[in-house]
Amino acid sequence: MGCYAAVTALRSARHIVRSDPAARVLVVTVELSTLHLANDDRIEPLLAMLQFGDGAAAALVSATREGFAIDAPFATTLPDSQGWIRWTVGDQGFAMHLSGEVPGRIAEALADPALVATIMGDAPADSWAVHAGGRSILDAVEHGLGLGQGALADSRGVLSDAGNMSSATLMFVLARQMGRAVSNGVALAFGPGLAAEGFRY
């Protein structure tokens, strides 16, 4: 699942808690991307490796009113994009393939009003937690959704401080927003497929 795995795990935890309100589910994401650094002289793999970092995060999902409410999960796949983001298992670890065309494909997809409606919901968002896959991906989301300057400041801050930690990244962005008053937030992550997963909070 790669970078959107936290969304999938949080969504599953939400379903468990909705079925059993006494349940408390611990969601843990651990990514050790630097284990897969490889000696390579091609520009695309080098650029992909340079933006990844190691990270671990945890969230407790329960039926209490503390923290964020996970609501209205969504998932979609961009057509004809299965090879744009992928990991290949090799003798020296996982080889990451991250096409330079991913930001453009995301921007194209966000031109579809139906997709935008799925992501945005019925009310304008006052908070955004977007997976910090890279500066150009955040730019594509910001422009594609017509977000104001600074809307993705938390995502950009995590990217600057820790890099792209794959599935842990979105959890770091959400952690920056804990304690703030959020009435309609949107969490969004992209990953292999090219797929987009998220939820409102």
Catalytic residue ranges: 3
- Cα gap 2→12, rounded to integer Å: 16
CB-CB contact of 25 with 187 (8 Å): no
Which whole-number Å values give the CA distances from 171 to 12, 67, 174, 195, in the listed order? 15, 13, 5, 18
Neighbours of 160 (CB within 10 A): 10
Among 137, 145, 149, CA closest to 119? 145
Tell me the helix, strand and coil percentages in the chain, rounded to 5. 40, 25, 35
In terms of DSSP bridges, do strands 85-90 and 93-98 run parallel, antiparallel, or are they unpaired?
antiparallel
